[in-house]
Amino acid sequence: MMEPCRKESIDIFDFSTGRIEKVEKICRSEEEWRAMLTPEQFEVTRLKGTERPFSGTCSMPAEGQVGVYQCVCCGTDLFKSITKFDSGTGWPSFWDPVSELNVRFEPDESLGRYRTEVLCARCDAHLGHVFDDGPPPTGKRFCINSVAIKLGEHQKQASQKATFAGGCFWGVEAAFRELLGKGVISTRAGYTGGHTQKPTYEDVCTHTTGHAEAVEVEYDPSKINYRQLLEVFWRIHDPTTPNRQGPDVGSQYRSVIFYHSPEQQSEAIESKANLGKSGRFSDPIVTEIVSAGVFYQAEDYHQQYSEKHGKSSRR
């Protein structure tokens, strides 16, 4: 027997616009759901059934694109394709939802053991269960019935990464965070370019690790391109001072562009050459251009430091 649905307004994250929207919960009768769903979809989503493992299919977006899996009942965005992974269980698995606004959780002891049920927040469709044995960064495994989801028509170009070192990473990160919502998706401060594994801030300050203080920028190339990020990088530091930015002295403060692709390498080399010819700096530009390696995230207190302490980015 289906549980009654209560009409109310809720917040839902819209993948296509990147905004939180106010929507009405969807309530339909059993007859209405049966008319619009296949028997298997109805059994799983409305009666909390489970499809047989390895029996379903889960389409993937076009190469180089990020798609979103939506609720088969109401079209609510649920999981991005880039969070999908092969768990070997026979059901589609994801390590994170599009937004926790779009799903809700209920305790489930129906099999005589405790599990956490995952439902669509807008129409209460049963999707599957979530477990604590997934991969990083969340450690979660959303085990979802394939008949409960569908690949949405809207797809986005996959995000890309850019990594820069230009002195203390507090100011570098702050400058790129000014572009949040304008193409920059996220940033994180860390250490890279050296040989010591999992270095701490204290390790890097000994000048023996080879690492530079750096910032990794995740960006949407359909909204901001790599050349624009390079322009920000050149603007916020002095690329003519080896192992130094202002009062900060040491190899961890060197100027480096860590490229993630041959295209980034070519654009960085061209950009550096053009800057050298521009006459903006009287001294030679010493910025290194090297392939990106392992990036070690810095301690939590370094993340978004300028925002936490009310400091502005350097210009």
How many angstroms separate the CA atoms of 220 and 186, rounded?
10
Q: How many CB atoms lie within 10 A of CB 59?
A: 11
Identity at 54, one-letter amino acid code: F
Dihedral sign for Cα atoms in the order 165, 170, 171, 176: positive
197 in the Ramachandran plot: left (φ > 0), alpha (ψ -120 to 50) or beta? beta
Kindly state the tokens that stand for 257.
Answer: 């562009």
Check if 71 is active-site: no
- Run of H or E including 157: strand 149-157
How many angstroms separate the CA atoms of 247 and 293, rounded?
27
How many angstroms separate the CA atoms of 5 and 207, rounded?
62
DSSP 3-state of 85: strand
Q: Which of 27, 74, 168, 205 is catalytic?
A: 168
210 in the Ramachandran plot: left (φ > 0), alpha (ψ -120 to 50) or beta? left
How many angstroms separate the CA atoms of 123 and 29, rounded?
12
Q: Which of 73, 74, 120, 143 is catalytic?
A: 143
Check if 120 is active-site: no
> Which residues are catalytically annotated?
143, 168
